[in-house]
A and B are shown apart, each in its own frame.
Chain A
Amino acid sequence: MGVDEAMQSPGIGSFLDSIPNGACILDSNRRVVYWNAILTEWTGVSSQSALGRDIAEFIHPDQQHVLSLILTQVMEGGGAVYLSPQLHPHFIPAPYPNGGLRIQQTIIQPMRGPLPGENTLLLIIHDVTEMVRQVQAYRAVRDRALQELEERTRAENALQVSNRKLNLLSSITRHDILNSLTALLMYASMMREEAEDENTRAGFEKIESLGWTIKRQIDFTKNYQDVGVKSPQWQNVQLIVHQAREQLEGDGFRLESRVEDLEVYADPLLSKVFYNLMENSVRHGERVTEICVSYQQDPGGITLVYADNGVGIPDSEKEKIFRRESFKNTGFGLFLSREILSITGLAIRETGIPGKGARFEIRVPGDAFRIMHE
């Protein structure tokens, strides 16, 4: 059986013409004995024209030394040769009609046949241009993302440095103002005591009162400076509530805490929130003897409830108490508390009935709480 007969018999020839890859078969003298339709389409070389020619005529000049290596490898008992698109992108140059060369992955498989009694090499060439382009596009996107991340990290580091400098400046300034303020208050107090008439005394009292207001405002800046500085963390609410209680002077109320298994994800200043709530109960609740902290769970999260049995908060004040200008009544505490809670998406509001006690509800979304016994 001759070459033509071997290749035209129903079998490998018709199979190789039906696959979507370039394919050719070389005899032991590396001459083309089969050249499939896809290779004709890719190279413009007809099967008739390719047959009998040395494969070296069709191989990219840069790949000529690869061909001799391949033959050596095959002759030395190796198996199939695998040529990757990165190292051999254009083993047999195959241009696209609109320009540019196909990127190829090539497999060269030694085999017996189809020529009778002869070792041959089967070349299968797969067009991987689209896959390579997609990987390159992915790499470009990844590189952009990495670059943006690097820039963001740099910016964050710069912001941290700036923040430290600003905190230092504000700390020094605050210290100096408080020193001067202390002296001013001392002089005002002395002048008030030495005042000979009521009008002058009243004037100095006003100066003192304004001085104390300034001091509270300065203290607020110190507290507010710490909000959001440290990363949020999971905190046991029971522990936090008891810590807040211990920081309060005196124990004029009974604390009932039903949150022992509850942890919330919040700014480390969470204890300050409960301290402020308790301090307000003691200071403004007038008759507070009981404080209760509990929670209710629903499909969307939990509602953490702080309630006392004091005089409560008038309806007209329920939202105002969270404003910064309400410091006269709450010492900035509730404004600050709302800020602290909002860092991790927690929201606070007052829902008590005036005359029956204050009731603060802290809404905690589903991803910001966990119940430990579960």
Chain B
Amino acid sequence: MNEDPVVLDGIRELINIGVGKAAGILGELTSSHVILEVPTLYIGEVGNAEGPGEGLGNAPLSMVFIDFSGPMRGRMAIMFSPESAANLVILLTNEDDTTAEMDMIRSETLTEVGNVLINGVMGTIGNFLGQPLAFALPVYVQNRAAYLSAPFKEKDHYLFASTQFKVKGRSVHGDMLIVLEMGSLQPLVKKIHAIMDQV
């Protein structure tokens, strides 16, 4: 797959802009100081041995995903272990109940957090492409990571980014996954190259 460092840097930058916006909105919504970091990014093909679920194991994860269409078609998700998901909600909402268990109230809150984050990142990418994306409604599921890429083909691409939420001095780890249908990565790669050529 295209692991051109220029493309990787470009996508990482876009994701950082998106998560920066999302962190601002989350901070406003929750009256907390929220920092979001994306230290690592990988690009691969869904059918690769190191597919998007690799390394996340078979344990069920708490995930929020949104399908999108337009110049790019695919799915973006944010994934946490159920304990991390519950802890993130507790930190963001100052819940008195500190039992790390995902129930309906918390899954609703995580859906909102995931929605803000995904909108931030995909909105930034859509703006960068100059063509808006159309989004479906966010969905919360508890399942294995492989569930997310199941509807996609082996040659479809994925972007995988580990994500660190810092709220009130405490860190919660999550992972971001963007799965793109065949050909959907090309407009982004072309646009990044076009910008770099101008520079």
Chain A residues engaging chain B, CB cutoff 8 angstroms: 65-66, 69, 72-73, 76-87, 105, 107, 109, 128, 131-132, 135-136, 138-139, 142-143, 146
Contact = CB atoms under 8 A, between A and B. Distances in A.
Given A77-B132, A77-B133, A79-B119, A87 B109 contact: yes
Interface string B85-127: 0000100010001010101111011011001101110111011
A69 B25 contact: yes
B108 A105 contact: yes
10 contacts: A73-B25, A77-B133, A78-B123, A79-B119, A79-B135, A80-B136, A83-B112, A86-B108, A135-B104, A135-B105
B115 A132 contact: no
Contacts of B66: 79
B137 A109 contact: yes
A80 B135 contact: yes
Given A79-B119, A80-B115, A135 B30 contact: no
Q: Which of A65, A80, A107, A132 has most B Cβ within 10 Å? A: A80
Contact of B28 (A69, A109, A131, A135): A69
Contacts of A131: 104
A283 B138 CA distance: 79
B196 interface: no
B134 interface: yes
Given A86-B93, A87-B109, A132-B105, A79 B99 contact: no
A69 B124 CA distance: 16
A87 B112 contact: yes
B6 interface: no
A65 B24 CA distance: 13
Interface of B: 21, 25, 28-30, 66, 68, 89, 93, 97, 99, 101, 103-106, 108-109, 111-112, 115-116, 118-120, 122-124, 126-127, 132-138
List the 6 closest pairs (A to B, CB-CB), nearest first.
Answer: A79-B135, A78-B119, A77-B123, A84-B112, A78-B123, A82-B115
A282 to B, nearest CB: 58
A76 B116 CA distance: 12
A86 B123 contact: no
Contacts of A77: 122-124, 126-127, 132-133
A244 to B, nearest CB: 46
B135 A84 contact: no
Given A69-B29, A86-B93, A135-B103, A76 B123 contact: yes
Given A73-B25, A107-B137, A139-B103, 12 more contacts: A73-B123, A77-B127, A77-B133, A78-B122, A79-B122, A79-B123, A79-B135, A84-B111, A87-B109, A105-B108, A139-B99, A146-B99
B138 A78 contact: no
Given A85-B105, A107-B137, A139-B97, A78 B112 contact: no
B93 to A, nearest CB: 6
A143 B29 CA distance: 28
